[in-house]
Amino acid sequence: MDRVMSLFWMGGCASLALLLGAALTVTVVVAHRRERERRDSWRRWAAHHGWTFTENPQVAWTGRVPGRNRRGVRFALTGTMYGRPVGVAEYAYTETHTSTGADGNQRTNSQTHSYVVAFVWLRRPFPELAVAPRHGFSKLGRALFGSDGYATGNAEFDRQWRVGAAAPGQQALVGPTLLAAHLAGAVPAWSVHGAELITCRRGRLHDPTLVQSLLTPLVTVADLLEQGR
């Protein structure tokens, strides 16, 4: 009897393993199909609007986004908006953490972070320049040690935001109207290198109707930068 029960147990475990394997395979196949359909929908959107859809493009701005993954751009859409060359892209990078459990065995956990990147090409090049919101440590450092060498002179802006520049004095390229737009929440964090202006936020590209809302605030940054306002 014990032998029969053992055979039943082994058979049940094998069946369960097969079922789990089949379920995993189905899940992977469905995920791949949905991803293919999602990209196909973006291809159709690009064709309808006279834009270009490119899978896995090589771009220069990956060194200015979280993770700095040179191969992290899944796909990009480029075209013209407000008379400017513009684009949006989906970008991702993966973090891997290894830890040792109480039993001495190592466990590896991976987490993929996805971002949507919007970019605008300027009409003239700029030195490296970036505007980003201040977070905890940055605010604490400013409170303890005062303004850094890239303060703008606008006390409220310098409290909430920080400018990164290639050299002292270049923060003056961020004009008073652009400072005010940041304080009003009308424009996003951004960085520029040469003629390429970008911004990024967490998420993935799902809704084509959001393309304009992603790019319009960045075009505002481009206009104000070029005008020195």
pLDDT digits (tens, 9 = 90+) for 101-142: 667 777 778 899 999 999 999 999 999 999 999 975 444 334
Domain count, the chain: 2
User: 193, 190, 189, 223: which is closest to 125 by C-alpha?
Assistant: 193
Same domain for 30 and 110, yes or no, is no
Helix ranges restricted to H, the chain: 2-49, 136-145, 155-160, 176-183, 211-227
Q: What is the pLDDT of residues 154-191, one digit of tens each?
A: 999 999 999 999 898 999 999 999 999 999 999 999 99
Contact 129, 165 (CB under 8 A): yes
Same domain for 139 and 201, yes or no, is yes
CB atoms within 10 A of CB 212: 13
pTM score: 0.78
Domain assignment present for residue 223? The answer is: yes
Round to whole Å and give the CA distance between 134 and 219.
23
Same domain for 71 and 26, yes or no, is no
Domain assignment present for residue 80? The answer is: yes
Bridge partners of 199?
Answer: 118
Characterize the bridge pairing of strands 52-55 and 161-165: unpaired
Same domain for 111 and 207, yes or no, is yes
Q: Which range of residues forms the domain containing residue 33?
A: 1-40
